[in-house]
Amino acid sequence: MMDADSINSERLLELMFAAVPDDLPRFEQICRSVKDWDTLIHCALDSSLETFLYYALVKIGWNFPAELKERFERWTLIKDVWLAHSRSALDEILRALYSASIPAVVLKGPVLGERIYPNPSIRSSADLDVLVAPANLARATAVLGEIGYEPAAEPKARFLRKYHYHIMFNRACPPVLELHFNLSNGFGTVIPAEEFLSRAQTYRTSQGTAAGILSPEDELLYLSIHSAGHRFLRLSWLCDIKLLVRQHPDLNWEVVLARARSLKVLSAFLFTCERLQQTLAVRLPQLDRCGLRRIRLRVAQSLLSITARQPDPSRRSLIGQMAFGAVLCDSPFAAAEFMRRQLLLIVRRRAHRHFPSLTPEEWAY
């Protein structure tokens, strides 16, 4: 559970990033109201926004206490070293895939930071995400093995192929690679990779490597579904969307809505748009919503607030998370499928916990 001071600091952080990077006078005004910088910085760390916060504070010439400045500079140095390493690993992965003629798209990560953030080093990336077509999954696995990346142990890999949308790859030195073979499988529907790969654009990384990236409309949809699927646990995910919209003022919203509708993730997309407006004050076009969907979005907002107050993991938190996902499914059939899969996974895990010798190892995940 969060105390009042923590909640207040979280709201202050939201107000700060509603102002950054375009309204720095407003940002400075909010900074002057901060009474507990330690709690605020802890919130920024939880949302992977500590280096972005430091960037904005430097921009306004904030007078740091020596101890606070030393903490920020230490984090920044660590992040810079990690980012350089992650970029090199990503370039190596992309070169290996492209040398084998395997089309690939980079999702989020260092490439997103390079493209839309005022300074690439201020976007944190714990791992790397790359999308390939399911038909190329076996070849990609073999190619990645040649550069030292090995997939998860076979029981876990089987589980991920059947119930998830990416497989995790590790090698002796991080970062972890999440190789996506579908864009997503949340909210009772699977979003296949192929059509997104077909619309991909080419981007040159800071080291000159060709990288596939999603079209702006596809990227907006993906980031929105990803953020909603993780219940907006990190404010940085909404900042990604804010900066993407800021960089592409000519986004074709009708195209995004049509794709969200055809892929059956319209409710999740619209809910993310509402969160973006409420949390970061992002101005978006008027997006039509029918009366029934408006009710569902209000219910989802209530469930999100309730689960945020529950300790995680806990039975109440789990039930709330499942209810939140089901409410944002586009149809009763999708909601039923979503709940069926979630309940099946819970039953399998418990069965394996109690009867490990009688159940497949993959049931543990």
63 assigned to some structural domain: no
119 assigned to some structural domain: yes
Beta-carbon contacts of residue 227 (< 8 Å; ≥ 6 apart): 237, 238, 240, 241, 272, 275
Predicted pLDDT of residue 291: 59
Predicted pLDDT of residue 289: 62
120 assigned to some structural domain: yes
The residue segments making up the domain with residue 192 are 101-214
pLDDT tens digit sequence for 124-175: 888 999 999 999 999 999 999 999 999 988 888 889 988 999 999 999 999 9
207 assigned to some structural domain: yes
> If you count them, how many residues does the chain have?
365
Antiparallel, parallel or unpaired: β 105-107 and 166-170: unpaired
Strand (E) or helix (H) holding 106: strand 105-107
110 assigned to some structural domain: yes
Predicted pLDDT of residue 257: 95
Predicted pLDDT of residue 3: 46
Predicted pLDDT of residue 13: 97
Report how many domains make up the chain: 1
Q: Which residues of the chain have pLDDT under 50?
A: 1-6
Predicted pLDDT of residue 55: 96
147 assigned to some structural domain: yes
Predicted pLDDT of residue 7: 53
Predicted pLDDT of residue 294: 80
pLDDT tens digit sequence for 96-119: 999 999 999 999 999 999 999 999
5 assigned to some structural domain: no
Rounded to two decimals, the pTM is 0.94
Predicted pLDDT of residue 84: 94
21 assigned to some structural domain: no
Q: Which residue has the tokens 């790859």?
A: 169
Burial of 183 (0-12, 13-18, 19+ CB in 10 A): buried
Predicted pLDDT of residue 290: 64
* Cβ pair 229, 180 in contact under 8 A: no
